[in-house]
Amino acid sequence: MKKRAFTLIELLVVIAIIAVLMGILMPVLGAARKQAWQTVCQANLRSIGTAGALYAHDNDNAVPRGAINVNTDWEYIWFLNFMPYLAHEKDKTDYRDVKIFRCPAYPDKRQTVCYVVNGAHFTDRKDRIGSEWSMSEFGRCNLIKYKRLNETIYLADHEFGSWRPIIERGDDPQLAIIDVRRAEDLPYTRTASGTVVQLNPSRRVASERHRKGTNVLFLDWHVEWMDSELMDIEMFQMHTR
């Protein structure tokens, strides 16, 4: 009997078809994976928001916002304070098994804290520069004094870059700079009218972590995705009643 087999041309045609299909499917699979990362990140922030709400309930409506020096002010670091509300004992160094502090889309997997906290202080509503909150308020603020909490950002995606620290332990001295204190910490420089001027070279909030934007947790504890170009320093201002 005569044996039948594929010819070289037939094999090349099959390989070409597979290559075309892979070329079509790979971007789709990549987009699906990124969408899944964004969903997980938002779920993480919602869980953190729940912990934040419980912490505020137990602490006279106050929440931690920043620390000047990790060696003396570590008790004001937000993720350490929220640990008891996430089924973990509060510990200065062993927070690393709390997986929700990490965004799956963060490029460097050594990073244990993938979010930056609102640590900004403003002299008045016209102040569009900002300074460090903890220098005047010692790390906590009482939410009862403020309004527009649904428009005020508490946490946002931490930028990845050579100028940003990789935090691997709870006593890392660079913990004190994973916050947002000034307009230059935002992804883009914006004019008072809202026009985007440039990408900030020293930004602390991620500019393109998720779909050319960033996930944020507001102080009323809801979570949103935000176009980074629309983020304004006023979203970090705490407006009194």
Residues 72-88 pLDDT 10s: 666 778 998 899 999 88
Exposed / middle / buried, residue 238 (Cβ in 10 Å: 0-12, 13-18, 19+): buried
In this structure, what token pair is assigned to residue 12?
A: 């090349």
Position 130 pLDDT exceeds 90: no
Beta partners for 115?
Answer: 157
- Tell whether the model's pLDDT for residue 214 goes beyond 90: yes
Q: What is the DSSP letter of 103?
A: -
Contacts of residue 121, Cβ cutoff 8 Å, sequence gap at least 6: 130, 131, 132, 133, 135, 136, 137, 181
Please tell me whether residue 161 adopts helix, strand or coil conformation.
Answer: coil
Of 187, 207, 205, 157, the residue nearest 44 (C-alpha) = 157
Query: Quick one: how many helices (H) and strands (E) in the chain?
Result: 4, 13
Q: Summarize the confidence of residues 15-35 as an average pLDDT.
A: 74
* Interval 183-212: pLDDT, tens: 999 999 877 777 777 899 999 999 999 988
Nearest to 207 by CA among 177, 179, 183, 185: 185
How crowded is the C-beta side of 233, counted as CA atoms within 13 Å?
A: 28
Helices (H), 59-150: 70-73, 78-82, 134-137
101: tokens are: 């502090």
Strands (E), the chain: 62-64, 115-118, 120-121, 131-132, 140-142, 146-147, 153-157, 179-180, 188-190, 196-199, 213-218, 223-227, 239-240
Mean pLDDT for the stretch of residues 222-238: 92
In the predicted model, what is the mean pLDDT of residues 23-37?
Answer: 73
